[in-house]
Amino acid sequence: MAKKIKKIQIFRHIVQLVFFILLPGLYTLTFTELKTVYKMIISGNFHFIKALPALSEFVIVILFTILMGRVFCGWFCAFGTYNDWIHLIAKNVFKVKFRVNEKVDAALKYVKYGVLLMLLIVTCTLGSNILEGTSPWDAFAQITDFSNVISGLLIGLILLVLITIGAFFVERFFCRYLCPLGAVFSIISKIGILKINKPTDKCGKCRACTNVCSMGIPLYKNESIKGGECIECLKCIEICPRKNTVVNIAGEDLNPALASSVAIATFAGVYGLTNLTGAVLTKAGISSASSITVSSGIAKKTSNYKDGTYTGSGAGFRGGTTTVSVTIQNGQITDIQTVSSQDTPRYYDRASGTVMNEIISAQSTQVDTVSGATFTSNGIISAVEDALNQASNGSTSTSTSDENNSSQSSSSNSSSDNSGNTSISSDNNTNSNEQNNNANGNTGFDHKGDNAGGTSQSGQANNTIGNGASSSTSTNNATSSSSSSSSSGANSSSSSSAASAKYKDGTYTGTGTGFRGGTTEMSVTVVGGKITKVETVSSQDTPRFYSYAENTMTSEIVSAQSTSVDTVSGATFSSRGIIEAVQNALSKAK
């Protein structure tokens, strides 16, 4: 007798394949954001509403798991899919028939809770990098670049090979015994609305449902299964010869095909709801933890802008250049239009309207990025900043200017002051600071327009001079009123600042080596002795890995005021390149 075609399983494998291709990093992103949530909680700095746009994957998967159980594990997780495929090959090609003893299986399932605790304690609580390079899913994500995996993720590769061998003999080996996310899902899924009903009084003695269970659950002992180890694969539904096993959602028995469709629709709904919530929060002006810029450098006072129309450029998703025009009337931003964009269209369309409207509403580029289009948003923000730099008249709290022409007094100290001053000229030649460098080894740093890789540096130039005790920084946007202090006053202030500050004020650049040997150049801005901004100047890294790492790494470095931060799982080499570049830049600031 021919075997009955299992339509639900065919449908499930199709869904798995689609998610494996379209969202292979969903598992990694979710776990990375779980660690972010944990860090915010233990630091006492957890603000859910503010953090929501930057935690979209984690929120989506957690909400979905609460509602529908571990359907994510059985249908959407790329690493779970990999385990399934390995076991299917072993079972159907090599005819492997191996079963773990029921008591041994039950005991081994507690190991994943230990793995979860170890990762949270070692990498998040203690901040240790001892486990760096040991991630099997990092090795899995970067396996196409085998030479780099061998050199930087050897332990992770060994663990991946062992997991693969385990999956060859035991179905869902990683999911059963080692998955840290699975440990979280096992706990929270028990409050879901989906369960598998199987009245034992109607059962025979075949134990077909138990024998086919992906997670080795002893279904023959249970009247129903709700969450926990069950990944909702529905294999037990299709195998039951008496049709005794059914899917139940909110107390109603459903056709399994309908139930699986409901699960997928729910996932899409939760995804849409989360992103809509992120967009609403963005429109409301609530800041997001995903923002990599602490201060945009553009003053909020509308009098800082001259009337006219200005264009600027910035680098968005995968380095695509975005050019915008900004119109200023009566000192206020009245219109922002796209001139051209090399960004990915679907991301640009998603971000442009929201970001531009928010900038006009706030009269500032200190606005939130759009969840799901962070790099595109940053490209738009950088382009607007570049344009506004040209419209800024450089007014400060200690000087005044008219709308059409203004001048700024020289900011100078005596040569005995051992300090340097900067000279910056705007596009319209409306401001000038005369600079006299002393013969004391001072050096300068210059960014010009798009050569800065679309960062929010001054559109024309940004020179930073530093010496052993103090530094003087000037930009097109604002100047420090204290820079015209007397020699003795400057020395006293510098000594006080140096005593309390870890780094000298200024903007510094450094380089590091990222994925496949690509060079990453970063700029680091230090204000008041603290790191306030970390931005990409240029990158030869592989775009998909670099974009994956950049946002998380830069924000964590600013938050921690240190480069002792975790690499991004799935983009370890790119993360190391960013860290190395920032370390190199900060070495110049000490």
Question: Using one digit for the tens of pLDDT, what is the confidence trace for 405-448?
Answer: 333 333 333 333 333 333 333 333 333 333 333 333 333 333 33
Q: Is the pLDDT of residue 373 over 80?
A: no
Give percent of the chain above pLDDT 70: 73
The whole-number pLDDT of residue 475 equals 35
Q: Residue 444: what pLDDT?
A: 33
The Cα 313–Cα 230 span in angstroms is 51
pLDDT in tens, 80-96: 999 999 999 999 999 99
Query: Is 435 a domain residue?
Result: no
| More confidently predicted of 184 and 515 | 184
Q: Which residues lie closer than 8 Å to 543 by C-beta, 6 or more apart? A: 318, 319
Judged by average pLDDT, the poorest of 50-54, 140-144, 536-540, 577-581 is 50-54
pLDDT (average), residues 145-150: 80
Q: Does any domain span residue 81?
A: yes
The token pair at 332 is 């206020």
What is the pLDDT of the chain when averaged over all its residues?
Answer: 75
Band (507; pLDDT cuts 50, 70, 90)? very high
Domain identity same for 266 and 384: no
Domain membership flag for residue 446: no
Q: pLDDT (tens digit, 9 = 90+) per residue, 469-502?
A: 333 333 333 333 333 333 333 333 333 333 345 7
DSSP state letters, 250-261? TTEEE-HHHHHH
Q: How many domains does the chain have?
A: 3
pLDDT band at 570 (very low <50, low <70, confident <90, very high): low
Q: Which H or E run contains 314? A: strand 308-315
* Predicted pLDDT at 120: 92
Q: What is the pLDDT of residue 181?
A: 94
Q: Same domain for 338 and 262?
A: no
CB 559 within 8 A of CB 551: no
Tens of pLDDT along 378-398?
Answer: 889 989 988 898 887 533 333
Residue 271 and residue 308 share a domain: no
Asked whether residue 343 is domain-assigned, the answer is: yes
Count Cβ atoms below 10 Å from residue 164 Cβ, excluding itself.
16
Last residue of a domain, one of 391, 416, 437: 391
For residue 3, how many C-alpha atoms fall within 13 Å in the half-sphere facing its CB?
5
> Between residues 198 and 439, which one has the greater pLDDT?
198
Predicted local distance difference test score (pLDDT) of residue 491: 38
Mean pLDDT of 356-366: 83
> How much is the pLDDT for 273?
64
Instruction: Return the residue matching tokens 């007094």.
Output: 409
Same domain assignment for residues 310 and 342: yes
**Residue found by looking up tokens 């760096």 in the block:** 132
Q: Give the pLDDT confidence of 28-76 residue by residue, as tens digits.
A: 878 888 888 888 888 787 777 777 767 778 888 898 898 889 999 999 9
What is the C-alpha to C-alpha distance for residues 333 and 324, in angstroms, rounded to an integer? 13
Q: Record the tokens describing residue 99, joined without a space.
A: 């079963």
CA distances from 488 to 277, 412, 415, 436, 484 (A): 55, 13, 12, 18, 11
Q: How far apart are CA 373 and CA 351, in angstroms?
A: 6
Q: If we measure between CA atoms, which residue out of 299, 306, 477, 302 comes closest to residue 402?
A: 306
**SS3 label, residue 243:** coil
Q: Is the pLDDT score of 157 beyond 90?
A: yes
Are 272 and 336 in a shared domain? no
Residues 19 and 112 in one domain: yes
Q: What are phi and psi of 530, to 5 degrees?
A: -120, 150
| Residue 180 domain-assigned (yes or no) | yes
Residue with tokens 């929501």: 52
Neighbours of 398 (CB within 10 A): 13
pLDDT at site 279: 54
Q: Assign residue 58 a region: left if phi > 0, alpha if psi is -120 to 50, beta otherwise?
A: alpha
Count Cβ atoms within 10 A of the Cβ of residue 357 and give its class: 0-12 exposed, 13-18 middle, 19 or more buried: middle
**Which band of pLDDT confidence, cut at 50, 70 and 90, is reported for residue 276?**
low
pLDDT at 242 over 70: yes
Q: Is 334 helix (H, G, I), strand (E, B) or coil?
A: strand
Question: Between residues 523 and 141, which one has the greater pLDDT?
Answer: 523
- Mean pLDDT along residues 292-310: 54
Residues 365 and 269 in one domain: no
Rg over CA atoms, the chain: 28
Can you tell me the distance from the alpha carbon of 439 to that of 419, in angstroms, rounded to the nearest whole number? 10
What's the pLDDT at 498?
Answer: 36
Taking a C-beta distance cutoff of 8 angstroms, is the pair 588, 579 a contact?
A: no
Q: Which of 1-10, 142-151, 355-364, 531-540 has the highest mean pLDDT?
A: 531-540
489 within domain boundaries: no
143 in any annotated domain = no
How far apart (Å, rounded) are the C-alpha atoms in residues 294 and 119? 29
How, if at all, do strands 252-254 and 246-249 pair? antiparallel
CATH number at residue 509: 3.90.1010.20
454, 430 Cβ separation under 8 angstroms: no
Exposed, middle or buried: residue 157 (CB in 10 Å: 0-12, 13-18, 19+)? Answer: buried
Can you tell me the distance from the alpha carbon of 170 to that of 332, in angstroms, rounded to the nearest whole number? 65
Average pLDDT of the residues in 552-570: 81
Q: How far apart are the C-alpha atoms of 364 and 385, rounded to whole Å?
A: 9
Least confident span in 82-91, 248-257, 287-296, 340-349: 287-296
Point out the domain boundary residue: 356, 373, 391. 391
pTM: 0.57
Task: Tell me the H-state helices in 153-255.
Answer: 154-169, 173-177, 180-188, 208-212, 235-239
Q: Is 125 helix (H, G, I), strand (E, B) or coil?
A: helix
- Give yes or no: residues 354 and 259 share one domain: no
Highest mean pLDDT among 26-35, 222-231, 247-256, 425-434: 222-231
Instruction: Please indicate, yes or no, whether residues 387 and 276 belong to a single structural domain of this protein.
Output: no
Least confident of 324-333, 338-347, 394-403: 394-403
Q: Do residues 271 and 382 share a domain?
A: no
Non-local CB neighbours of 467 within 8 Å, separated by 6+ positions: 418, 419, 420, 440, 441, 442
What percent of the chain stands above pLDDT 90?
32
Separation in Å, CA 482 to CA 373, 396, 479, 489? 40, 11, 9, 9
Are both 82 and 187 inside the same structural domain?
Answer: yes
Q: What is the pLDDT of residue 213?
A: 95
| Window from 295-309, 347-361, 409-423 with minimum mean pLDDT | 409-423
In a domain, 158, yes or no: no
Q: Is 217 left (phi over 0), alpha (psi -120 to 50) or beta?
A: beta
* 97, two tokens: 């028939």
DSSP 288: -
Is residue 80 domain-shared with residue 181, that is, in the same domain?
Answer: yes
d(CA 394, CA 397): 10
E strand or H helix that includes residue 523: strand 519-527
Confidence of residue 275 (pLDDT cuts 50, 70, 90): low
Contact by Cβ (8 Å): 397, 301: no
26-42 vs 56-68: helix crossing angle, rounded to 10: 100
CA–CA gap between residue 188 and residue 333 (Å, rounded): 48
User: In which domain, by residue range, is 559 found?
Assistant: 502-590
Among 179-188, 417-426, 535-544, top mean pLDDT goes to 179-188
Predicted local confidence at residue 372, as pLDDT = 58
Residue 461 confidence class, pLDDT cut points 50, 70, 90: very low
DSSP code string of 384-448: HHHHHHHHB---BTTB---SS----------GGG---------TT----------TTT-------
The letter for the amino acid at 333 is I
